[in-house]
Amino acid sequence: MTQAQLQESANIPAQSEEHGERKWRDYFSFNTDHKVIGIQYLVTTFIFYCIGGVLADLVRTELKTPETDFVSPEVYNSLFTLHATIMIFLWIVPAGAGFANYLIPLMIGAKDMAFPRLNAVAFWMIPPAGLLLISSLLVGDAPDAGWTSYPPLSLVTGQVGEAIWIMSVLLLGTSSILGAINFLVTIWKMRIPGMSVNQMPLFCWSMIATSAITLLSTPVLAGALILLAFDLIAGTTFFNPTGGGDPIVYQHMFWFYSHPAVYIMILPFFGLISEVLPVHARKPVFGYQAIAYSSLAISFLGLIVWAHHMFTSGIPGWLRMFFMITTMIIAVPTGIKVFSWVATVWGGKLRLNSAMLFAMGFVGTFVIGGISGVMLAAVPFDIHVHDTYFVVAHLHYVLFGGSVLGIYAGFYHWFPKMTGRMLNEFWGKVHFALTIVGLNMTFLPMHKLGMMGMNRRIAVYDPKFETLNFICTMGSYLLAVSTFPFIINAIWSWMYGPKAGNNPWQALTLEWMTTSPPAIENFDKLPVLATGPYDYGMNNGDDEVVENVPLSDEREPALAAGPNSALRAEPDPKVAANPEDRE
Amino acid sequence: MNIPSSIWTLIIGIVVTIVSLWYGQNHGLLPTAASDEAELVDGLFNAMLTISTGLFLIVEGALIYSAIRFRRRPDDNSDGPPIFGNIPLEILWTAVPAIIVLGIAIYSFDVYNSIGGFNPHDVHDAPIGEQAVRMPGAAIAATLNDTPPSADPSNLNQDKSDAAMQDPGTAEIRNADQIPQKRNAPGVGVVSPTIGSSPDREGTSPALTINVTGLQYAWIITYPDTGITTGELHVPVGREVQISMTANDVIHAFWVPELRLKQDAIPGRQSEIRFTPKTLGEYKLICAELCGPYHGAMNTQFVIETPEAFEQWQQEQVAISNSQQLVAVNTAVSPAEFLAPYISDLGIQPETLHQIHHNHH
Ligand code: HEM
Ligand SMILES: [Cu+2]
Ligand SMILES: [Cu+2]
């Protein structure tokens, strides 16, 4: 038996036919099933992504020529402010939570999240917050001080729009705090007995790291925004120099959240990639512990680097050096991850399907963003390129190349599980090709633009930059086009795609050990671990188990006990696997 | 693992090194280096780009090579080899980035020190308060200033603020009555953030001091030594210049790409940078921090000229500036009127001038 067969035969999937059936109304209601909530998150955030993408193309259309000939400068500022806010707070961050909601209980063999109602509450804060934000466009007073909303500028531009922006971001922050609590408790308390932390899928590790930074840093953002709201509405002067306030304090508070936030935006997808790569490379993930612990290292270091966003604003000279060093150190755990991923694919038997292509594209593109990140950490160079298109290029390589490609890899990988149907591979590959070309065409030239002297957030620029900007704009149209094959493919396949079966990829993690789509309570009986999460290739068709495989210490006793041994199958009465069973 | 034989590794290593070294020197990604400091920054960038190119080629090369070499053959349903890790290899690739990063950090540290990141206020140790009071125009400035000059010599930021407010050229447009420079300004004793004198110039005064004020959407430049107020920044080549800046409404940022220097001008704070212009030419002084809808149009001419040309320009400006000073004192024109001649050069429509709020009491 191969490892996949071993794992599957130890876990008979829930057979109940009607269990998996979902009524469409469930998705529009206060449903507490983590799978419904996961899909609610993913679909909602994808809609916001499309809105954010349209705004991005409007921004790029304005930038096609050096003059302001498409929208007025005021509207331009609102466009990029909303684009960035939507992309960050309504797409990347909640999309990570969407995957986590769907996958974590399945991956650890639980029936649901620890707090199902809280989970639904967290989701249902998002649509109103998003609608609120977008409504500011209709009010005619959209926020236009950038997604960073630095005072005093944010205090002197439109008041209504700014207040709406604060309100909306506060709601979204609250939602992500609620989600983070839920993930932590679920992962910590609801793993099936016998799954030690070192047998968890790596996605769970990345969600622990993500949730920890969410809990530590989001409240500081809330503090900053509430004080800003006082300045804006009540006329206090916490950040307003007119009354003796200090705008730099806002920057510290804002970046204390918003730098860690970039890890909130990327760590979940680091986790997703660590799931997708080994399955399609048919090889164990290389350096499980290195990948797991580097997530924690990134989340810790992420909390002490915020002032690298302020190298040119208000910190003393020596402090810049401190933040330079801490920032650069993050490159080490990140590098460990990248090398481990490369080593995972190296020498495998790669199935180059859409999920795998996006996952490898993720690694390749993220590397560019990571490298420019180290450059930005070098203070003398950052002083030159801060607030220029070099930064815009860097952040999109990380957020688009990292997060968005990661999400797509996840979509293609888990779509069969979520819907029970396969996506069309041909259109998946078209989607991939268009995305990679469009992405590099849009963002690569921005590096040079920034270094040569084009600052960011401008509607008019020096005519000497016209050619490169034209290329960027064409690239952004290509990116817009690239989403159509995906959207059509997803909708069509969801309705008419070929049936997927329970485990189309012969994966080993527990979410594949149930029906596709999973039954309402995930598993009929408590699942057992017959293999580790990434034990590919240990038994290649012949019945002999390969001997010289270094299993981690923690995994050995459980595995040695055999799939049906009491050690693993017996539920521990103190650790109930689902919330209803707990007293 | 299927590591290529050592001879291939060697050849690939050599090729990657050569390509990286070449690209690191010939990237053409940066504009002219027009200051001594810019040379240093470019050296750092070239080094980083060399390393980055190497890393980029290795990682992308490995990915593309894997995609081609290790793709699954149609008839092969077996799995790859079960390799879970390799401790020596993992230590190696933890150590290599760590060493690279350490190297870049040390190099950056060195450049940062050489361009004067560490010792910004050596020349300001003496209290400037009384000196400033004796300057011409101080009486007018004092009436605009809510806070009397600082008496506490340890509060350097306060001194700087006071001094700036006493400067007849800038006090008016620096909007002193609206933004009282704070008592106990943030980071007491620190002129907020700065590129100061380089270690070899420590303790010396710069050859030329210039005050720059950002306001929506113009740069106002004053030369305290000569009393010139203008909308363009002129500096003589080869002489160390100190720019001391602030803003009177929102945050702006002083950026001349060719100098590789950028510094936020923050209302309520003083910040400064020192540099030595090196290459003659006309460049652009850009506002790099979002400051409102016309942020993109907020830029002006930055000229590095020969000392003779600079002298001449200065003399022309003194005449103009003096007459404007008189007007300013006698009729208290609003900054909008005051700025009109400059702003028309900046591509801003006069209608937008109402954005500049400034109420005289
Ligand atoms: C469809 C492809 C995209 C295009 C063409 C695009 C384009 C742009 C442009 C041109 C800007 C700069 C606006 C300015 O400085 O005036 C910008 C800013 C930004 N974008 Fe995107 N973007 C895209 C996708 C994304 C994605 C996927 C994310 C995040 C997940 C994102 C996040 C941001 C952020 C955070 C900013 C910063 C705005 C600022 O300067 O404050 N963008 N984008
Ligand atoms: Cu400005
Ligand atoms: Cu500006």
Backbone angles phi, psi at A145, to 5 degrees: -105, 20
Span from the CA of A56 to the centroid of ligand 1 (angstroms): 6
Mean pLDDT (whole number) for A402-406: 93
High-pLDDT (> 70) share of chain A, %: 90
Is residue A87 within 6 Å of ligand 1 at its C-beta?
Answer: yes
Which of A458, A462, A549 is the mutation pick for testing B, counting most B CBs within 10 A? A458
**CA A23 – CA A26 distance, rounded (Å):** 6
Q: Is the CB of A55 inside a 6 Å radius of any atom of ligand 1?
A: no
Phi-psi region of A353 (alpha: psi -120 to 50; beta: other; left: phi over 0): beta
Q: Which atom of ligand 1 is nearest to the CA of A404?
A: 27
Lowest average pLDDT, out of A104-118, B149-163, B284-298, B299-313, goes to B149-163
How far is the C-alpha of A361 from the C-alpha of A396, rounded, in Å? 14
Q: Give A305→chain B minimum CA distance, Å.
A: 15
Contact: B296, A459; criterion CB under 8 Å: yes
Helix A425-452 to helix A354-377 angle (10° resolution) is 10
pLDDT of residue B148: 38
User: Mean per-residue pLDDT for A187-215?
Assistant: 91
- The C-alpha of B198 sits at a distance from chain A's nearest C-alpha, in angstroms, of 13
- Min mean pLDDT across A67-76, A559-568, B150-159, B245-254 is at A559-568
Fold (topology level) of B194-308: Immunoglobulin-like (2.60.40)
Closest of A31, A168, A190 to residue A90, by C-alpha: A168
CB A277 within 8 A of CB A285: yes
Mean per-residue pLDDT for B123-127?
39
Residue B350: its pLDDT value, please?
41
Q: Is A456 in the pocket of ligand 1 (CB under 6 A)?
A: yes
Task: Calculate how far, in angstroms, residue A115's C-alpha sits from the geometric centre of ligand 1.
Answer: 35
Helix (H, G, I), strand (E, B) or coil at B26: coil
pLDDT band at A410 (very low <50, low <70, confident <90, very high): very high
CA–CA separation, A107 vs A105, rounded Å? 6
Q: What is the structure's pLDDT at B180?
A: 41
Say yes or no to pLDDT of B103 above 60.
yes
Contacts of residue A534 in chain B, CB cutoff 8 Å?
84
What average pLDDT score do residues B211-239 get?
A: 87
Measured from the CB, is residue A92 less than 6 Å from ligand 1? yes
pLDDT at A169 exceeding the cut of 90: yes
Which residue among A83, A86, A90 has the greatest number of ligand 1 atoms within 8 angstroms of its CB, and so is best to mutate? A83
- Please write the tens of the pLDDT for every residue from B69-88: 998 888 887 888 888 888 88
A404 lines ligand 1 (CB under 6 A): yes
Scanning every residue of chain A, which has its alpha carbon at the shortest distance from the alpha carbon of B255? A384
CATH number of A32-496: 1.20.210.10
Residue bearing tokens 């449903």: A31
> Which three-class secondary structure string do you get for A393-428?
HHHHHHHHHHHHHHHHHHHHHHHHHHHCECCCHHHH
Q: Which residues contact A402 (CB under 8 A, 6 or more apart)?
A: A265, A266, A269, A362, A365, A366, A369
Q: Where are the domains of chain B?
A: 5-63+90-114, 194-308, 311-360
Q: Compute the nearest-CA separation of B322 from chain A (Å).
A: 30
For residue A166, report the distance from its CA to the centre of ligand 1, in Å. Answer: 20
Q: Is A386 in the pocket of ligand 1 (CB under 6 A)?
A: no
Query: Which of A342, A372, A383 is the closest to B262 by Cβ?
Result: A383
User: Given a cut of 50, is residue A580 above it in pLDDT?
Assistant: no
Q: Cα-Cα-Cα-Cα dihedral of B330, B332, B337, B343, to 10°?
A: 90
Is the confidence at residue A268, as pLDDT, over 90?
yes
Token pair recorded at residue B340? 């009109």
Q: Is the pLDDT of residue A424 over 50?
A: yes
pLDDT at residue A14, as a whole number:
58
Residue ID of nearest Cα to ligand 1 atom 15:
A457
pLDDT tens track for A506-564:
888 898 888 888 888 888 778 888 888 888 887 655 544 444 333 343 444 444 444 43
Inter-chain CB proximity B59 and A150 less than 8 Å: no
How many angstroms separate the CA atoms of B321 and B232, rounded?
13
pLDDT band at B120 (very low <50, low <70, confident <90, very high): low
Of A292-296, B55-59, B151-155, the one with minimum mean pLDDT is B151-155
Average of per-residue pLDDT values in chain B:
74
Which residues of chain A have a CB within 8 Å of the CB of B182? 241, 244, 246
Pairwise CB contact (< 8 Å): B60 & A367: yes
Q: What is the ipTM of this complex?
A: 0.87
* Per-residue confidence (pLDDT) for residue A53, from 0 to 100: 95
Q: Identify the residue whose tokens are 């490369």.
A: A342
How much of chain B is helix, strand and coil, in % rounded to 5? 45, 15, 35
Residues B316-343 pLDDT 10s: 888 776 666 554 443 444 444 444 444 4
CB contact under 8 A, A378 and B48: yes
Is the separation of the CB atoms in B201 and B121 below 8 Å? no
Model-level pTM? 0.86
**CB-count exposure of residue B180 (10 Å: 0-12, 13-18, 19+):** middle
Percent of chain A's residues with pLDDT above 90:
60
CB contact under 8 A, A248 and B262: no
Q: A92 C-alpha to center of ligand 3: Å?
A: 28
Give the domain ranges of chain A: 32-496
One-character DSSP codes across B182-211: PTT-SSTT--SSEE---GGGTTPPPSEEEE
Task: Identify the closest residue of chain B to A75 by CA–CA distance.
Answer: B293
Give the position, in ligand 1's atom list, of the atom nearest the Cα of A148: 41
Instruction: Verify whether the Cβ–Cβ distance A73 to B45 is below 8 Å.
Output: no
pLDDT per position as a tens digit, A299-340: 999 999 988 999 888 777 788 888 999 999 999 999 999 999
Answer whether A472 contacts ligand 1 (Cβ < 6 A). no
Token pair 């109103």: residue: A128
pLDDT confidence of B130, banded at 50, 70, 90? very low
Closest residue CA from atom 37 of ligand 1: A84
The answer to which of A172-176, B21-25, B322-326 has the lowest mean pLDDT is B322-326
Q: What is the pLDDT of residues A284-297, one digit of tens each?
A: 999 899 999 999 99
Strand order of the sheet with strand B261-265? B233-236, B299-305, B281-287, B252-256, B261-265
For ligand 1, is residue A479 a contact (CB within 6 Å)? Answer: yes
Token digits for A300? 């810790």
Report d(CA A417, CA A426) in Å as an integer: 19
Counting ligands in written order, the one closest to the CA of A397 is 1
Distance from CA of B359 to the nearest CA of A (A): 13
pLDDT tens for each residue of A103-149: 999 999 888 999 999 999 999 999 999 999 999 888 878 888 999 99
Give the pLDDT mean for A218-231: 93
Q: Measured between alpha carbons, how far is A202 from A396 in angstroms, rounded to an integer?
A: 25
Atom of ligand 1 nearest to the CA of A459: 16
Contact residues, A window 414-453, toward B, CB-based 8 Å cutoff? 447-448, 451-453
Taking the centre of ligand 2 as the mean of its atom positions, its distance from the CA of residue B40, in whole angstroms, is: 27
Residues of B in contact with A447 (CB under 8 A): 29
pLDDT at residue B146, rounded to an integer: 35
Q: Which ligand is nearest to the CA of A266?
A: 1
Nearest to A240 by CA among B178, B309, B44, B226: B178
Integer angstrom CA distances of residue A259 from A220, A264, A309: 12, 9, 8
Among A85, A87, A251, name the best residue to mutate to test ligand 1's pocket (greatest count of ligand atoms within 8 A of Cβ): A87
Residue A486 has pLDDT above 50, yes or no: yes
Helical axes A331-345 vs A317-329, angle rounded to 10°:
20
The overall average pLDDT reported for chain A is 86
Pocket of ligand 1 contains residue A269 by CB under 6 Å: no
pLDDT value at B176 more than 50? no
Q: Whose CA is nearest to atom 29 of ligand 1?
A: A87
Ligand nearest to the CA of A150: 1
Task: Look at residue A58 and tell me whether its pLDDT is greater than 90.
Answer: yes
Interface contact A352-B71, CB threshold 8 A: yes
Residue nearest to atom 19 of ligand 1 (CA): A84
pLDDT of A203 above 90: yes
- Ligand 3: centre distance to CA A76 (Å): 14
A-B CB pairs within 8 A amount to 315
